[in-house]
Amino acid sequence: MRTILITGPGGAGRTTVAAATALEAARRGTRTLVLSADRTDTLGAALGTATAGTPAGAAPLLTAWRPDAAEGFRTDLLALQEQAAGALDLLGSARLDAEELTPLPGAGELALLRALRDASAADAFDLLVVDLPPAPEALALLALPEQLRRYLRRLLPAERQAARALRPVLGRLAGVPMPTERLYETAARWDAELAAVQRAVETPATTVRLVAEPGPAGADAVRSAGTGLALRGLRTDALIANRVLPDVSPDTWLAGLAAQQRKTLDEWHDEWLTGRGPAYGVHEVPHLGRDPRGAGDLAALPVPVPAADDAPGPVVWPVTDRLADDGVLVWHIPLPGALREELDLVRRGDELVVSAGPFRRIVALPSALRRCAVDGASLREGELRVRFAPDADLWPRTR
């Protein structure tokens, strides 16, 4: 199934573009599901029909779903309370009732991730359109599965889980309590659920679309978001320049705004054509002179719709062998929009910590690079090139 994740700066019209994209895909005969995490029904307002916590038809071949974060939070917390009933009774804890539970911050985003996982596993749709939160929150949300899985691996390494059968013996020998079987089972279940979400996000059939109004603020937001998405290994396939004003207007105030927009648009088109920016197409969506509401207004927005089976392929971070010429291996990490002064690298065991402005990712080194030491790095044409020299103590010696 093809998945399109839509994000951008706040107030840029992400939900409207998501609704228009989903509606146009359904009109072309594609079974489409559109998801939103907004607590208020902005998606329903754009579509002209209310959305709720269960999937419901919004138009022919179009299903809309706004997962109920409150219900999911109550269900999960009550289940956890039931599993820990014995310990809670020993502590004399008072049980929580479903009626008194309200979702904590972040529950909506977690509900959206779970819905994305479930929708990706289903065979009922050909295209999934996801209305993500604004870009900074969306990037943190998309990074969550990988980060949590890493935390689990650090807290319960595989070699320790392999000793589960010896837990009673080890406990007697060590003289200290050992982790219970339920802890291992819970960790395994969490890892499996997080892995499913991570696969849904990182599959080659999933791409991201940025929505922004052309202008100085929009340009800064697009550059930053493009760098953050590339660092996560996510492919951006389109930039939707939303609410574009007419080039010609008798009103001097509107003409000034239009000129400012056109300057940014020319820069975006130039970056795409010359290869200095991300590998996306720039699509201009005109301002309707009003907030789009209902199917008629959405149909007037010329948003691009990919074929359901149009998968662009995975993002690749290749390693170039330059041992014969320069004595190094070079790891190529695409980071379009990154600024040299905002980059930072730290080698930590078999991992590399890459920071680009406010974004950070800890990535496992390819097997060949684990036997090397970092020999330097450079940023060229939107690509971070990290040089690795073989470690004499680890690199296989030639005869």
- For the beta carbon of residue 195, count every other beta carbon within 10 angstroms: 14
> Could you list the residue range(s) of the whole structural domain that residue 381 is in?
319-390
Say which DSSP state 369 is in.
G
Which of these ranges, 29-43, 56-70, 116-130, 304-318, has the smallest mean pLDDT? 304-318
- pLDDT mean over 185-194: 81
Residue at a domain's end among 299, 329, 358: 299
Greater confidence (157 vs 381) lies with: 381
Question: Are 287 and 372 in the same domain?
Answer: no
The pLDDT value given to residue 46 = 94
Question: Are 193 and 241 in the same domain?
Answer: yes
Residue 309 placed within a domain = no
Q: How confident is the model at residue 279 (pLDDT cuts 50, 70, 90)?
A: low
Longest Cα–Cα distance of the chain, Å, equals: 87
The pLDDT value given to residue 310 = 73
Question: Are 291 and 338 in the same domain?
Answer: no
Question: Are 351 and 246 in the same domain?
Answer: no
CA angle 293, 220, 298 (to 5 degrees): 15
> Residue 188's closest CA among 169, 164, 171?
164
Question: Are 209 and 330 in the same domain?
Answer: no
Rounded Cα–Cα distance for residues 72 and 102 (Å): 10
pLDDT surpassing 50 at residue 170? no
Q: Select, from the ranges 100-114, 141-155, 269-283, 366-380, the one with the highest average predicted confidence (pLDDT).
A: 366-380
Question: Are 137 and 219 in the same domain?
Answer: yes
Q: What percent of the chain has pLDDT over 90?
A: 55
Question: Are 260 and 338 in the same domain?
Answer: no
Question: Are 284 and 197 in the same domain?
Answer: yes
pLDDT surpassing 60 at residue 175? no
The pLDDT value given to residue 263 = 96
Kindly report the CATH number assigned to the domain that includes residue 230. Answer: 3.40.50.300
- For the beta carbon of residue 209, count every other beta carbon within 10 angstroms: 26
- pLDDT mean over 227-246: 93
- pLDDT mean over 55-80: 78
Rounded Cα–Cα distance for residues 318 and 305 (Å): 30
Distances (CA, A) of 38 to 67, 128, 166, 393: 9, 17, 47, 54
- The tokens for 175 are 């003289």
Residue 273 placed within a domain = yes
- pLDDT mean over 196-219: 93
pLDDT surpassing 90 at residue 212? yes
Question: Are 263 and 199 in the same domain?
Answer: yes
pLDDT surpassing 80 at residue 32? yes
Rounded Cα–Cα distance for residues 297 and 34 (Å): 18
Q: Please state the separation of Cα 5 from the chain's center in Å.
A: 8
Rounded Cα–Cα distance for residues 344 and 360 (Å): 9
The pLDDT value given to residue 210 = 96
The pLDDT value given to residue 306 = 80
Question: Are 292 and 343 in the same domain?
Answer: no
Residue 174 placed within a domain = yes
Kindly report the CATH number assigned to the domain that includes residue 357. Answer: 2.60.40.790
The pLDDT value given to residue 271 = 80
Residue 185 placed within a domain = yes
Residue 272 placed within a domain = yes
Greater confidence (104 vs 342) lies with: 342
The pLDDT value given to residue 308 = 67
Q: Please state the separation of Cα 6 from the chain's center in Å.
A: 10
Q: How confident is the model at residue 176 (pLDDT cuts 50, 70, 90)?
A: very low
Strand pairing class (206-212; 236-244): parallel
The pLDDT value given to residue 40 = 87
The pLDDT value given to residue 78 = 60
The pLDDT value given to residue 16 = 96
Residue at a domain's end among 299, 334, 357: 299
AA letter at 11? G
The pLDDT value given to residue 37 = 82
- Name every residue whose Cβ is closer than 8 Å to that of residue 134 and which is 6 or more positions away in sequence: 7, 8, 9, 10, 14
**Count of domains forming the chain:** 2
Strand pairing class (359-364; 127-131): unpaired
Buried residues in 233-251 as b, exposed as e (16+ CB within 10 A) = bbbbbbbbbbbbbeeeeee
Question: Are 287 and 345 in the same domain?
Answer: no
Residue 27 placed within a domain = yes
pLDDT surpassing 70 at residue 25? yes
Rounded Cα–Cα distance for residues 220 and 137 (Å): 16
Question: Which residue has 């802890």 as its token pair?
Answer: 183
Q: How confident is the model at residue 8 (pLDDT cuts 50, 70, 90)?
A: very high
Residue at a domain's end among 299, 327, 356: 299
Question: Are 277 and 362 in the same domain?
Answer: no
- For the beta carbon of residue 312, count every other beta carbon within 10 angstroms: 14
Rounded Cα–Cα distance for residues 198 and 187 (Å): 16
Q: How confident is the model at residue 33 (pLDDT cuts 50, 70, 90)?
A: very high
Residue 77 placed within a domain = no
Q: Where are the beta strands (DSSP E) in the chain?
A: 2-7, 32-36, 56-59, 62-65, 127-131, 206-212, 236-244, 281-286, 319-322, 328-334, 343-348, 351-356, 359-364, 372-380, 383-390
Q: How confident is the model at residue 89 (pLDDT cuts 50, 70, 90)?
A: low
- Name every residue whose Cβ is closer than 8 Å to that of residue 68 and which is 6 or more positions away in sequence: 52, 53, 111
Question: Which residue has 């400012």 as its token pair?
Answer: 260
The pLDDT value given to residue 355 = 95
Which of these ranges, 84-88, 207-211, 348-352, has the smallest mean pLDDT? 84-88
End-to-end CA distance of the chain: give it in Å, rounded.
51
Average pLDDT of the chain to the nearest whole number: 84
Q: How confident is the model at residue 169 (pLDDT cuts 50, 70, 90)?
A: very low
Residue 75 placed within a domain = no
Angle between helices 181-202 and 135-155 (to 10 degrees): 140
